[in-house]
Structure 1
Amino acid sequence: MTKKHYANWPKDYQDPSWFTHDRFGMFIHFGLFSLAARHEWIMTTEQITPADYKRYFDHFDPDQLDIAGWLDQAVEAGMKYVVLTTKHHEGFALWNSQLTSYKVTETPFEKDIVQIFVDEARKRQLKIGFYYSLIDWHHKDFTLDGLHPLRENQFARDTKGQRQMRNYREYLKGQITELLTNYGPIDYMWYDFSYPHRDWGWSKGKGNPDWDGEGIENLTRSLQPHILINDRLDLNRGVKTPEQYQPHHPIVEDGKPVLWEACQTMNESWGYDKYNANWKSVDQILKMLVDTVSKNGNFLLNIGPTARGAIDDLTKERLDGIKVWMKKHERSIVGCEPSDFISPLDCRLTQKDDRLYVHIFSWPYRHIHLKDLQGKVCYAQFLHDGSEVFIEEFDRNQVITSTETHIEAGDIVLKLPVIKPDVAIPVIELFITDNRP
């Protein structure tokens, strides 16, 4: 499927075919908020002033930083692209920006983390994405609004007229230029985020006019013409990025599919949060991955390394579970698209050319019925071990009903063992042909 088919992808945008092929990526949230370890929005939720927040800057020293290990985990889990938070809403730059002293090279750690990330990703042939926040609660010219940590600070409210968004816009563009000039080819620019719909009475949320979304888009594409851009510049185009939400059906606009990516955490925080115990299980995560691809989307799964730069044990457990499943089932995800065939109850279908993949979310008793496939399947097997699955076919014009079965005309029936295979989500691979003798 090429770019011309997508409702939210202008004709002069770059070809997104690598993105729709790869399907699975790793999101990495890392910054000063990792030291606080209680959600990446802590600066605003606890209304911490920039002066008080500086304690995290002064003590930022991830002595166990293991970016190579993070990316090894991504590769082993079947992920094909990685997106790093180069700057989150707190305003801290993970690279050696020449436009601010609020950057990683001025901390005790001193090294350019973006450079390390890019080098390690290229070694592993991973596509590279940069997350960059349009919000900056540290910058002196970022105007106050209802999300700003200083929103109830009387002095800041009294002097808010001294803040000039035009200066901040130049700063944004300057940092974006650095990121897209100093690190070679970048595949994906993940901007975050516009909120013009918010209204607190005394202030309104920010969007395209505040950032100059068109200007940022033009700058991005002029520096890296091949790059993908997400949808958060408030321009109503780009990769659609629902987060912590799984659409109930494929996303379509004006009768055309939408290029989209489901963004999910493992618990309820993006940054490292030692207090959040609401962890998704391996099975839940894998089902979201499969469900997303079956609906023509990509899946971007987040990790939040600790302040010392390591992946915590609960994250490792989930990555390990994903690795086990993906090692045996990757070809039902990578390079796959939705299928036009009707999915059986409690299943999801993906397809790659003449291979149809039936992902079984709830193990049935002995049989799965598939519609409109009579005479079109020449072989079936479990994907995890390649063992044959037997197929029953019947008169395509006859409904069969008895005390033991009910089979609709045109159905085929897959005969299954009573006991579910020992994998999180069993997958049956069907070999499709319309030229069967």
Structure 2
Amino acid sequence: MYQFNREEYERRMAWHTDARFGMFIHWGLYAIPARGEWVRSIEEIPKEEYMRYFEEFDPVDFDPKQWAKAARDAGMKYVVLTAKHHDGFCLFDSKYTDFKSTNTKCGRDLVAEYVEAVRAEGLKVGLYFSLLDWYHEDFPHYGDKQHPMRNNPAYGNEGRDFNRYLEYMHNQVRELCTNYGKLDVLWFDFSYDELRGEAWKGTELIEMVRSLQPEVIIDNRLEVSGEGYGSLAAGNPTPYHGDFVSPEQIIPPNGIQDVNGRDLAWEACVTMNNHWGYCREDRFFKPAPMLIKKLVECVSKGGNLLLNVGPDARGSIPPASMEILAQIGGWMRKNGKSIYGCGKAGIEKPDWGRVTRRGNKLYFHIFENTVGPLPLSGVQKEEIDRVRMLADGAEVPLSDSWVHSDYPNITFVDLGPDPVLPDPVDTVLEISLK
């Protein structure tokens, strides 16, 4: 009978809840058609037709050192790469398939180069692995909810052996956990319909993973998809429970708690535009100021932000993404203390921004200025030791103006005569409590 060990769990999760900000990288053959990572399923492309991208794949600009540097410069602390997405193509040298990067014109184990580059930048290493595989002959085809051939009766399931697929899938996970050194994150994707938990032989899979990578942290998608919380949240953790909840393309309105009201670790995975894999026509990028505020929102609710980039067919992160990362990095270099190791402040969200906390430090993130002195609701004047601008360390005085004399129980600070904030995106006050 599985026994959840909270002490062990919190120990392995400590770095993750401290890091708060990571990079997701979706990349594979689908960068060539450049219509997103689900292109084969959405357009119901037969395997034979999809193989032309395999024959063509040769990312001449692939340089994982540049990827890792971009992540570090943006203030990210960990990176997660799609070692294998749903199309079944492997960026690593698996001995169990020919459908891999080492058999393309590229001829390289791209995961091996990636993990080396990420570690060299001092970042934590994560690998994404799809539980689905549209290439493997033993994975359900016709009638499956997701498979490209789901509507084609010529691809019936007679003779397909799902147990044989599971053996293949487990063997590939074993390779990732054995051949690439210490892994910090293993990001499975995803469960649906009857394919969840023990349908994947989840207990056996995680026992193997933990025996090879005892410190690795794992998402919750052996049980759920981008929706759903999993068994840890339900208060009855299975052997394959997720270490964190993985909301997709949404930031939970109030963070995430288990059935007993205890805060859960979570990580919102979010795209920069509207696709995970490279999509040439998708130019709807979220601006850097918005993403900075969304990172702050995640942290203020006790969560992480895993922000995605989708490199192109040549292996380059798109210029628009690089520009956004650089802008975020500029803000993080001055204000990272309000993100790393921070979480909920226990203070109601103010009208003008958000609040994060680490120990006796409160970080007031000011998104818009007020008329008159700024109210610090939730903090009493006698509790405050000092107030400083986080970006430059400048003293910010408490206000004694007559204009707030009608509100004697609220503490106000004086930001000075300029109605324009020093940082128009997010000006951060560091308040040290006594």
Equivalent of 1:98 in 95, 118, 122: 95
SS of residue paired to 1:424: coil
Give 1:352 shift. Answer: 1.6
Once residues 423 and 346 of structure 1 are traced to their aligned partners in structure 2, the CA distance between those partners, rounded to angstroms, is: 12
Give 1:355 shift. Answer: 1.6
Is it true that 1:306 corresponds to 2:312 in the alignment? Answer: yes
Once residues 222 and 407 of structure 1 are traced to their aligned partners in structure 2, the CA distance between those partners, rounded to angstroms, is: 63
Look up the match of 1:390. Answer: 397
Give 1:410 shift. Answer: 3.1
SS of residue paired to 1:214: helix
Once residues 111 and 290 of structure 2 are traced to their aligned partners in structure 1, the CA distance between those partners, rounded to angstroms, is: 31
Give 1:266 shift. Answer: 0.2
Q: 2:82 touches 2:127 (CA, 8 Å); kept in 1? A: yes
Q: 2:138 touches 2:162 (CA, 8 Å); kept in 1? A: yes
Look up the match of 1:154. Answer: 153
Once residues 5 and 138 of structure 2 are traced to their aligned partners in structure 1, the CA distance between those partners, rounded to angstroms, is: 33
SS of residue paired to 1:323: helix
Cα distance change on mapping 1:136 and 1:406 into 2, 3 Å: farther
Once residues 209 and 406 of structure 1 are traced to their aligned partners in structure 2, the CA distance between those partners, rounded to angstroms, is: 63
Deviation per CA, 1:250-287: give whole Å up to 9, x if none: 21111201110011110010111111122111111111
Is it true that 1:333 corresponds to 2:322 in the alignment? Answer: no
SS of residue paired to 1:114: helix
2:348 aligned partner, one-letter code: I
Look up the match of 1:221. Answer: 210
Q: Normalised by the size of structure 1, how large is the TM-score? A: 0.90
Once residues 248 and 148 of structure 1 are traced to their aligned partners in structure 2, the CA distance between those partners, rounded to angstroms, is: 32
Give 1:407 shift. Answer: 4.7
Is it true that 1:381 corresponds to 2:403 in the alignment? Answer: no
Look up the match of 1:211. Answer: 200
SS of residue paired to 2:282: coil
Cα distance change on mapping 1:407 and 1:349 into 2, 3 Å: farther
Unaligned runs of 5+ in 1: 1-7, 197-204, 395-401
Look up the match of 1:397. Answer: none
Deviation per CA, 1:109-164: give whole Å up to 9, x if none: 0010000011111111111111000000010000120211001112113xx12211
Look up the match of 1:425. Answer: 426
| Superposition pairs of residues 3-402 of structure 1, within 5 angstroms | 13=9, 15-144=12-141, 145-157=144-156, 160-196=157-193, 205-234=194-223, 236=231, 237-238=241-242, 239-253=244-258, 254-370=260-376, 371-392=378-399
Cα distance change on mapping 1:68 and 1:279 into 2, 3 Å: same
Look up the match of 1:199. Answer: none
Once residues 246 and 172 of structure 1 are traced to their aligned partners in structure 2, the CA distance between those partners, rounded to angstroms, is: 31
How many pairs were matched up? Answer: 408
Once residues 49 and 263 of structure 2 are traced to their aligned partners in structure 1, the CA distance between those partners, rounded to angstroms, is: 47
SS of residue paired to 2:398: strand
Once residues 26 and 371 of structure 2 are traced to their aligned partners in structure 1, the CA distance between those partners, rounded to angstroms, is: 42
Q: 1:134 touches 1:192 (CA, 8 Å); kept in 2? A: yes
Q: 2:25 touches 2:79 (CA, 8 Å); kept in 1? A: yes
Once residues 98 and 340 of structure 2 are traced to their aligned partners in structure 1, the CA distance between those partners, rounded to angstroms, is: 41
Percent of pairs identical after alignment?
39
Q: 2:368 touches 2:424 (CA, 8 Å); kept in 1? A: no
Q: 1:393 touches 1:411 (CA, 8 Å); kept in 2? A: no
Give 1:346 shift. Answer: 2.8
Once residues 408 and 194 of structure 1 are traced to their aligned partners in structure 2, the CA distance between those partners, rounded to angstroms, is: 53
Q: 1:369 touches 1:413 (CA, 8 Å); kept in 2? A: yes
Give 1:11 shift. Answer: 5.4
Unaligned runs of 5+ in 2: 224-229, 232-240
Once residues 324 and 151 of structure 1 are traced to their aligned partners in structure 2, the CA distance between those partners, rounded to angstroms, is: 47
Once residues 139 and 29 of structure 2 are traced to their aligned partners in structure 1, the CA distance between those partners, rounded to angstroms, is: 19
Once residues 143 and 324 of structure 1 are traced to their aligned partners in structure 2, the CA distance between those partners, rounded to angstroms, is: 47
SS of residue paired to 1:33: helix
Q: 2:368 touches 2:421 (CA, 8 Å); kept in 1? A: no
SS of residue paired to 1:65: coil
Deviation per CA, 1:180-205: give whole Å up to 9, x if none: 00011101110000012xxxxxxxx5
Deviation per CA, 1:409-436: give whole Å up to 9, x if none: 4321011231221442111111111xxx
2:325 aligned partner, one-letter code: L
Q: Which structure dedicates a bigger proportion of its chain to strand?
A: 1
Q: 2:373 touches 2:399 (CA, 8 Å); kept in 1? A: no
Give 1:10 shift. Answer: 5.1
Once residues 381 and 87 of structure 1 are traced to their aligned partners in structure 2, the CA distance between those partners, rounded to angstroms, is: 46
Once residues 88 and 263 of structure 1 are traced to their aligned partners in structure 2, the CA distance between those partners, rounded to angstroms, is: 16
SS of residue paired to 2:106: coil
What RMSD, in angstroms, separates the aligned Cα atoms of the two structures? Answer: 1.7
Q: Normalised by the size of structure 2, how large is the TM-score? A: 0.90
1:169 aligned partner, one-letter code: L
Q: 1:194 touches 1:207 (CA, 8 Å); kept in 2? A: yes
Once residues 109 and 54 of structure 1 are traced to their aligned partners in structure 2, the CA distance between those partners, rounded to angstroms, is: 15
